Amino acid sequence: MSFFPGRAWQSSMWRLAGLLLGGVIVGHAALGSAWIGIALVALAVVAWHYLRLWRVLRLLRERRRLVAPIGRGVWGELESLLYRRQRESLVRKRRLAAILRVYRQVAAAVPDGAVVLDRQALAIVWFNNAAERLLALRYPRDLGARFTNLLRTPRVLEWINGPDRLEPLLDLGVPGNDSVRLSLRLIAYTDQQWLLVVRDISHLMRLEQVRRDFVANVSHELRTPLTVIHGYLDLIEPDDNPEWAPIILQMRSQTERMAQIVEDLLMLSRLEEQHRLSDETVVMSSLLPTLQREAQALSRGKHTITINDEAHCNLSGSLKELHSAFSNLVSNAVRYTPDGGTITLRWQRCDDGGATLSVTDTGVGIPAQHIPRITERFYRVSSSRSRDSGGTGLGLSIVKHVLARHHAQLLIESEVGVGSRFTCVFAASSVRETP
Ligand SMILES: Nc1ncnc2c1ncn2[C@@H]1O[C@H](COP(=O)(O)OP(=O)(O)OP(=O)(O)O)[C@@H](O)[C@H]1O
Ligand SMILES: [Mg+2]
């Protein structure tokens, strides 16, 4: 933009000077006074400019579309500037609208449902076609409606109002359609809004069910032949056939190991199948000595095993499952601690009202790179070391499943050659005070 007067401005000045000169001549000749002529000319010029100004203001006020300017002078220049601005903003608006249309089409074409929610009121701001189909939303009826009023299930309410709402909610049924299973995931994409991503995971859940059924059926079917083989092997006396003795003992220990794997797999299948958790009171003051006795039996006096009951409270949940999880941790501590080591079970209260059970050993420890994967099924740090100790790699996955069912967490700390600590962290809601 130039700060110097343009050509239109200069020609206007010339025109004004000409008019004033004309006013002087006409005023002097016709009216007897040059000043009257000047005053009349000035009045006419002001009136004309006022009229032009009023026209421009009216155009702007009424937001009318300007036609290509044909006027000359300063007003012509002003009009052409306004016309240019209006064209530019029109082009920009059209370009933005086209981009928005493309985004909308992309969002609508995505197979996953997307719902924009207001964080405060949980009101629906926008949703795509897939969300309309998956959640039975209606456009525009449901815009502005509270999401939890439309999907009013206890699981959704608990999840969206709970502290873990950024974790996906899996395997959610849709009211009125049992065959569809959904996963919901909240993404905090601005300070005011959530993006809720809804995914149809029915196919995945069906495959998962097939896998679970397969593992459960195979384990169940293997049980009987294994019992028969084990029974016959027990009948053969190694002393009667000295040359077969090592083979028979080896076969016995391997069938026992297979039977243990089958039992562990069945236990995992049961944990996965059972949706309801029993609500017993697990009395820790009697469970802890039981765990100690089991550890002593396994250790055969080769380790020092101590228990510290500092929490003096109980747990709510399934006694059978928690007993199985804790004994897996204790048996690992015994197995992976060389003779003469110490194993400590500590039951402690947390500041937030929760409680922790930790099993600490002075054993071989676990290299840091194995810790993230150690709770996977059949995962062992060193297969030779685990095979020596008769392990199959299912113990910690049982622990993980049981703790997840009790809304608890497993923390693993370990240092190679120093020892390990496995801590089960229970929330305050799982703790029951002793009467
Ligand atoms: N306290 C521990 N100290 C050292 N290593 C451990 C400890 N607990 C577990 N591990 C390692 O983690 C692996 C997985 O443990 P997990 O209990 O799942 O299986 P496992 O003990 O081999 O077999 P099982 O199914 O009989 O329990 C073990 O093979 C072992 O290498
Ligand atoms: Mg184990």
Residue 58 sits in the same domain as residue 80: yes
- If one residue of 327, 332, 383, 414 were mutated to test the ligand 1 pocket, choosing by the most ligand atoms within 8 A of its CB, it would be 332
Residue 334 Cα to ligand 2 midpoint, Å, equals 10
CATH of residue 147: 3.30.450.20
- If one residue of 260, 336, 385, 389 were mutated to test the ligand 1 pocket, choosing by the most ligand atoms within 8 A of its CB, it would be 336
**Would you say the CB of residue 393 lies under 6 angstroms from ligand 1?**
yes
> Nearest C-alpha to atom 9 of ligand 1 is from which residue?
332
**Would you say the CB of residue 366 lies under 6 angstroms from ligand 1?**
yes
Residue 77 sits in the same domain as residue 147: no
Residue 182 Cα to ligand 1 midpoint, Å, equals 35
Is residue 4 scored above 50 in pLDDT? no
Helix axes 284-299, 319-335, angle to 10 degrees: 30
Atom of ligand 1 nearest to the CA of 394: 25
Final residue in a domain of this structure, among 180, 200, 220: 200
Chain segment 242-277, per-residue pLDDT in tens:
888 999 999 998 999 899 899 989 988 888 887 778
pTM listed for this prediction: 0.66
Final residue in a domain of this structure, among 248, 273, 298: 273
Is residue 175 scored above 80 in pLDDT? no
CA dist 147 and 156 (Å) reads 10
Residue 1 belongs to a domain: no
Note the pLDDT of residue 389.
61
Domain with 354 in it: 280-433
Question: How many domains are contained in the chain?
Answer: 4
Residue 2 belongs to a domain: no
Note the pLDDT of residue 3.
42
Residue 396 belongs to a domain: yes
Residue 137 sits in the same domain as residue 90: no
> Nearest C-alpha to atom 15 of ligand 1 is from which residue?
393
Final residue in a domain of this structure, among 224, 251, 273: 273
Chain segment 324-378, per-residue pLDDT in tens:
999 999 999 999 999 999 999 999 999 999 999 999 999 999 999 999 999 998 8
Chain segment 11-53, per-residue pLDDT in tens:
777 878 888 888 888 887 887 788 888 888 888 888 888 988 8
Chain segment 207-245, per-residue pLDDT in tens:
988 998 898 899 889 988 999 998 999 888 888 888 889
Q: Which residue has the higher pLDDT, 65 or 422?
A: 422
Q: What is the full DSSP assignment across 78-138?
A: HHHHHHHHHHHHHHHHHHHHHHHHHHHHHHHH-SSEEEEEETTT-BEEEE-HHHHHHTT--
Instruction: Kindly provide the residue ranges of all beta strands, DSSP E only, lying in 89-142, ordered along the sequence.
Output: 113-118, 124-127
Chain segment 287-322, per-residue pLDDT in tens:
999 999 999 999 999 999 999 999 999 999 999 999
Residue 338 sits in the same domain as residue 422: yes
